[in-house]
């Protein structure tokens, strides 16, 4: 995963110097679209994707969407490629059997409360899910730019603090594809958190916009109290997690950021532990980071799970949009 450099938020000299490489990126993407043969899966597919690289919150949104569908009587299965995992699949993720080296951190995290199929080839993964004869909808975590598999609904997620960055393509900016191209694929947008960059003004008026934000697990937050913590995270936008920890009322004495999907070594963890001892604090991290920790370290580090919640009105409107393409609920 690319770590977001500071120049992705502006159009300075470094970003401008990289524009020729952005042209190569867009031409490669266009060629892939032209050559791809799109296939339609046996089950309807809801894609939860993003136009920018880095953390937008699409994985928590995916988990929330599955929970909403289950509440309506549907049987969803998540399809993910298992980023940074070495198993190509198709297989069903099992946190008791698989490690993050096997299938990546996002698949493990989602599998604690969802059925998750991991497959590098999304067409094979969709066929594998349909062959089980127990699911009626596929929720695809990422894959918005994948041209080979037809999506029945595409939801693109934006982080309210990042917006569309400097609106330039990789590597000059954070965009995977031109903003207008990505928005043209989307059936709706989901904004994670407050719109701090004026993103809403860039979105077409005809495109439905839904809003929500991340909330900490209340049981864990209550148990944290006013204790002192050193918070660390290796996710796309660690600042959002650090703010969440602080909002619980805990005393955050220091924050430490690592690259997204960082694989923690014994040396990393020993340094973190020493830092905590020096400051008379405990260590706390994200669920996504916690699943990447060696098993013997997990008991020593507190994990603060988060959940994405829509407003009541937006939740109802989004369900109406989605269920219009789904089969009748099972009785």
Q: Tell me the domain boundaries of the chain.
A: 32-214+310-323, 218-304
Q: Judge whether residue 210 has pLDDT over 80.
A: yes
222-231 average pLDDT score: 96
Pairing label, strands 209-216, 306-310: antiparallel
Q: What pLDDT does residue 289 have?
A: 97
The answer to whether the CB of 49 falls within 8 A of the CB of 156 is yes
pLDDT score of 100 = 95
Look at residue 326 in the predicted model and tell me its pLDDT. 86
Please list, residue by residue across 220-229, b when 16 or more beta carbons sit within 10 angstroms of its beta carbon and e when fewer do.
Answer: ebeebeeeeb
Please give the pLDDT value at position 331.
Answer: 42
Share of the chain above pLDDT 90, in %: 90
Confidence at residue 1, expressed as pLDDT on a 0 to 100 scale: 44
Lowest mean pLDDT among 87-91, 150-154, 311-315: 311-315
pLDDT at 62: 98
pLDDT of residue 328: 67
Q: Is the pLDDT of residue 299 over 90?
A: yes
What's the full length of the chain, in residues? 331
Beta pairing class for 209-216 and 153-159: unpaired
Strand partners, 252: 229
**Predicted pLDDT of residue 3:** 61
Q: Is the pLDDT of residue 5 over 90?
A: no
**Same fold yes or no, 32-214+310-323 and 218-304:** yes
Residue % of the chain over a pLDDT of 70: 98
pLDDT at 139 over 90: yes
262, 261, 263, 281: which is closest to 272 by C-alpha? Answer: 281
Higher model confidence: residue 26 or residue 327? 26
The pTM is what? Answer: 0.93
Q: Is the pLDDT of residue 196 over 90?
A: yes
pLDDT tops 70 at residue 242: yes
Domain 32-214+310-323 has CATH 3.40.50.300: yes
User: Chain-wide mean pLDDT for the chain?
Assistant: 94
Would you state the CATH architecture of domain 218-304? 3-Layer(aba) Sandwich (3.40)
Judge whether 57 and 214 are in contact, CB under 8 Å: yes
Whether 330 shows a pLDDT value over 80: the answer reads: no
Q: What is the pLDDT of residue 206?
A: 94
- Distance between CA atoms of 51 and 142, rounded to whole angstroms? 10
d(CA 172, CA 166): 9
Categorize the per-residue pLDDT at 325 as very low, low, confident or very high, splitting at 50, 70 and 90: confident
Look at residue 115 and tell me whether its pLDDT is greater than 70.
yes
Alpha helices in 248-329 (DSSP H): 266-278, 287-290, 295-298, 312-323
CA distance 105 to 74: 26
Give the CA distances from residue 119 to residues 47, 77, 82, 142, 192, in Å, rounded to whole numbers and listed in that order.
15, 13, 7, 12, 27
């Amino acid at each position: 995963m690319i770590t977001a450099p500071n120049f992705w938020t502006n159009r300075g000299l470094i970003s401008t110097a990289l524009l020729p490489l952005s042209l190569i990126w867009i031409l490669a993407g266009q060629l892939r679209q032209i050559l791809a043969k799109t296939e339609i899966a046996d089950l309807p597919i809801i894609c939860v994707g993003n136009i920018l690289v880095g953390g937008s919150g699409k994985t928590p949104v995916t988990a929330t969407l599955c929970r909403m569908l289950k509440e309506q009587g549907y049987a969803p299965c998540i399809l993910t490629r298992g980023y940074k995992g070495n198993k190509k699949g198709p297989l069903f993720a099992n946190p008791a059997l698989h490690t993050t080296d096997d299938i990546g951190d996002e698949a493990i995290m989602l599998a604690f409360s969802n059925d998750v199929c991991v497959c590098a080839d999304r067409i094979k993964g969709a066929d594998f899910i349909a062959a089980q004869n127990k699911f009626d909808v596929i929720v695809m975590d990422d894959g918005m730019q994948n041209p080979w598999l037809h999506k029945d609904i595409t939801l693109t997620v934006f982080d309210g603090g990042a917006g569309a960055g400097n609106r330039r393509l990789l590597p000059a900016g954070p965009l995977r594809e031109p903003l207008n191209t990505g928005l043209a694929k989307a059936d709706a947008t989901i904004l994670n958190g407050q719109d701090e960059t004026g993103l809403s003004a860039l979105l077409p008026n005809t495109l439905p916009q839904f809003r929500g934000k991340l909330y900490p697990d209340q049981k864990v937050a209550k148990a944290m109290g006013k204790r002192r913590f050193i918070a660390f995270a290796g996710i796309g936008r660690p600042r959002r997690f650090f703010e969440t920890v602080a909002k619980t009322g805990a005393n955050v004495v220091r924050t430490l950021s690592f690259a997204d999907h960082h694989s923690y070594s014994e040396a990393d963890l020993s340094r973190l532990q020493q830092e905590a001892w020096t400051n008379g604090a405990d260590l706390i991290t994200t669920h996504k980071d916690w699943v990447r920790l060696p098993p013997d370290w997990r008991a020593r580090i507190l994990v603060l799970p988060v959940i994405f919640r829509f407003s009541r009105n937006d939740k109802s409107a989004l369900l109406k949009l989605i269920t219009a393409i789904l089969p009748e609920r099972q009785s």
